[in-house]
Amino acid sequence: MYYSTPKKLIIVGGADFSDDLFKEVYDNELPIIAADGGANFLAENNIYPELVMGDLDSVSEQNVQNIEPKKIIRIPDQDSTDLEKVLLNTQSPLTIGIGFLGSQIDHELAALSALAKFPEKKIILIGEHDIIFLVPPNFSLRSYVGMRVSLYPLDEVKVKSDG
């Protein structure tokens, strides 16, 4: 375990997302970790992460050189994604991920698989058009007319809808 916090944790990945979306998610009081290429976005915005973690094949060499060596955790393993590497090596009550949705479909599917791989962790992935999380066994949601809700069951489920 490389990092543990009692606060919410923000993980930034390398997929494209708008500055506006980041401003909605970012809180300078919360720790932030760059998953590989997410370090490029943070460097461009003068935001200094607690750690940069991953195989580091997407972060620019210049950005790597501008980060304190003790804050770089290079995990060369190619059998896991950078998001999985971060989730495996961090602990927090809630993890918010941005920069994992809406770019390459294979990367997005891998991010969704990470949610299923770590069911004990509370993880929310936020994209330009979606908020994705693994629904706990008992879950209730109040919605409004026209609200889009999509469910993708990974196991047998029971759903009840009123109204």
Residue 30 lies in a domain: yes
One-letter amino acid identity for 56?
L
Total domains, the chain: 1
What is the model's pTM? Answer: 0.90
SS3 44: helix
Residue 67 lies in a domain: yes
Residue 15 lies in a domain: yes
Residue 32 lies in a domain: yes
Q: Quick check: 116 and 125 in contact, CB under 8 A?
A: no
Residue 40 lies in a domain: yes
Averaged pLDDT, 48-73: 93
| Tens digits of residue pLDDT in 30-47 | 999 999 999 999 999 999
Cα–Cα dist 152/135, whole Å: 10
Identify the CATH number of the domain in which residue 28 sits: 3.40.50.10240
Residue range of the domain that includes 50: 3-133
Cα–Cα dist 79/144, whole Å: 41
Residue 122 lies in a domain: yes
The residue count for the chain: 163
